[in-house]
A and B are shown apart, each in its own frame.
Chain A
Amino acid sequence: EADIYQTPRYLVIGTGKKITLECSQTMGHDKMYWYQQDPGMELHLIHYSYGVNSTEKGDLSSESTVSRIRTEHFPLTLESARPSHTSQYLCASSDAPLGNSPLHFGNGTRLTVT
């Protein structure tokens, strides 16, 4: 089972609300990632971090923001949720600096904005 935890698993909220999706890992990994997964399956990297106080935007433009104050914690925040944000959000981590290390994924948060 995963050593990377995402909460909540499911979230239904109204438009305009501020939300934070939580992600924590207990493996001491430096690298952490957020992916957005379409209903049609495709994964898009939206944010990543190579360590504490390091955050970068990914390949897909996103209105969300992230922070990395502690190694184990990488929360994602939407200041004002919209229906277009409805998606599954997957958090992952990996060892650094090895590029050949696999990603470890959490079980995801399925977000629905009404």
Chain B
Amino acid sequence: AQSVAQPEDQVNVAEGNPLTVKCTYSVSGNPYLFWYVQYPNRGLQFLLKYITGDNLVKGSYGFEAEFNKSQTSFHLKKPSALVSDSALYFCAVRDQTGANNLFFGTGTRLTVIP
């Protein structure tokens, strides 16, 4: 069975500081991994994905994520946080057989403090 864990419900970071939102996953075989962001009263927006190749994936709005197969992690990072980055962040995984649908984590609320 596939699953995703986002161990932190809430992450607070000062504006200008680096941010990390954690995600670990479990799938049979190789994963497709995704990060989405949700702003208030909106649907989810796609940020970035890992399919294969380079372990460091760059996405929208200056975000990046590092795939670590040995630690089964896919943490989201940004070198310098903006107040406008404050939102809900969801990690998601699907196994590469395509047999299963996308499975979402429980979400992490990021607050960037001015």
Contact = CB atoms under 8 A, between A and B. Distances in A.
Interface residues of A, number: 26
Contact of A90 (B32, B43, B107): B43
B73 interface: no
Interface stretch (B17-25, B62-70, B94-102): B94-102
Interface string B24-59: 000000001010100001111110010100000000
Interface string B77-95: 0000000000010100010
B74 interface: no
B90 A99 contact: no
Interface in B8-24: none
Interface stretch (A42-50, A64-72, A79-87): A42-50
Contacts of B94: 99-100
Interface in A97-114: 97, 99-100, 102-108, 110
B34 A99 contact: no
Nearest to B104: A43
A2 interface: yes
Nearest to B47: A102
A103 B43 CA distance: 11
Name the interface size band of chain B: 20 to 34
A42 to B, nearest CB: 5
Contacts of A43: 44, 90, 104, 107
B10 to A, nearest CB: 11
Contacts of B109: 41
B49 A105 contact: no
Contacts of B104: 42-43
A74 interface: no
A105 B96 contact: no
A58 B49 contact: no
Given A2-B43, A43-B90, A90-B44, A103 B106 contact: no
A97 B46 contact: no
Interface string A1-43: 0101010000000000000000000000000010000001111
B31 to A, nearest CB: 10
